[in-house]
Amino acid sequence: MSSAYFDKAYGGDYARRNPPYKWRAFLREVRRFRREGALLEAGCGFGLFLREAGTHFDCVGCDVSEYAVRRARAHLPAAVPLFCGSLPALELRRGFDVLAAFDVIEHIADLPRVFENAGRLLRPGGLLVFTVPVYDGPLGWLVDRLDHDETHVHRRGRDFWLEQVPPSFTVRHYTGVWRYFFFGRFYLNLMSRVCRRWTTAILVVAEKGPR
């Protein structure tokens, strides 16, 4: 993916649509279940989540976009390994305690391969943490109408995503995510477990191991 993709997807304002409080909220959800350890972010974008997570985790990042990896390199310490790669095809020798994929897997056609490889990358008891947009619920029609990203190959509801988690994982938690960009200036990212059947996206925490 080139810089043109990010400009189109984020209206030329990636930082404003990805404020630090968003990533800190995601990190809090991760740390409810794993306080520290080795963390891999697949689809790390410009490295903004890894910048927050690096205070607690030994981080590694990858993205399919060479452009994104270059931008991430500018935001992160030189000691953080970064490379180009796609989640279904990653082959790494080390294991991880957390695999994060925020707004990534809706772009990947082969979902069984995604979860299969996640299982290989994670240590026993490791966490797969992912967010996806959802197109069901009272506001599903609006999410679909406002979503102009042609690389979203899965436009499905929350139950679909929960059912994709294979028996080799246990869903420990899922919460709703409200997110809107108002008037091209103000970004809202709000976690809500109470309203998780209504929200425009969800965050899922699944633990590697038998159900």
Q: Report the range out of 141-150, 156-165, 178-187 with the highest average pLDDT.
A: 156-165
Domain range spanning residue 186? Answer: 3-208
* DSSP output for 132-171: EE---STTHHHHHHH---TT------HHHHHHHS-TTEEE
Instruction: Read off the pLDDT of residues 77-90 as tens digits, 9 standing for 90 and up.
Output: 999 999 999 999 99
**Among the listed residues 93, 152, 91, 98, the one whose alpha carbon sits nearest the alpha carbon of residue 117:** 91
Q: Where residue 100 sits, what CATH number does that domain have? A: 3.40.50.150
Q: What is the mean pLDDT of residues 17-26?
A: 92
Supply the pLDDT for residue 185. 62
Contact predicate 63/2, CB 8 Å: no
Number of domains in the chain: 1
Instruction: Read off the pLDDT of residues 89-127 as tens digits, 9 standing for 90 and up.
Output: 999 989 999 999 999 999 999 999 999 999 999 999 999
Reported pTM: 0.90
Average pLDDT, the chain: 89
Q: What is the mean pLDDT of residues 14-42?
A: 93
